[in-house]
Amino acid sequence: MTIPDKKIYPRTNDSETIYLKDTITNPNIIIGDYTMYNDFVSDPMQFEKNNVLYHYPINKDRLIIGKFCSIACGAKFLFTSANHTLKSLSTYPFPLFFEEWKLNKEHVKSAWDNKGDIAIGNDVWIGYEAVILSGVHIGDGAIIGTRAVVTKDIPPYTVVGGIPAKEIKKRFNDETINKLQQIQWWDWSFEKIQQFLPYIMNGEIDKLFFE
């Protein structure tokens, strides 16, 4: 499924809300269809610069965000290079200043601990000014509360909040969560989603099963 005509601004006369996918130039940032970002402070088209931080090519780590995610103003994705190594006796990033200290340029990455990709599932809602740290995986349907700092993986359909983010509740019972994971409606065609949208919006999970 792809968005027709590479639409970026989905709402008439709304320059603060965009579909992210076709605004991204970095090949290590992968965004799914219909994932939206709203920014009432800065230009949302600058998401790649303003919201994806310390994402240096030398690490080859990726930001992966699924389909139909909702990202609120000021949410940040904080990558490995923000994390000074804890293996050293000093937190100062000496390898970063290899010229000053006559160190081997090839060892620049030893200035930080590489924690890997940030991976966000589908239909995830990330609240205002939330921060997602490197290496974190967030499951489908999760909700990240306002200004939460996510340091660990979040299971599907789990609501979290706080610093560090902790589970507040599950969105649905286990049976419903399992059914949603089985259906994966976000991978349906536009036409099929449109057909079943009333049931999705009204929470009628059993009506999403069909032959």
Catalytic residues: 84
How far apart are the C-alpha atoms of 21 and 27, rounded to whole Å?
11
Q: Is 81 helix (H, G, I), strand (E, B) or coil?
A: helix
The side-by-side arrangement of strands in the sheet containing 149-150 is 52-53, 76-78, 131-133, 149-150
How far apart are the C-alpha atoms of 193 and 35, rounded to whole Å?
15
Nearest residue to 47 via CA among 67, 63, 66: 63
Q: Is the peptide bond before 164 cis (omega within 30 degrees of 0)?
A: yes
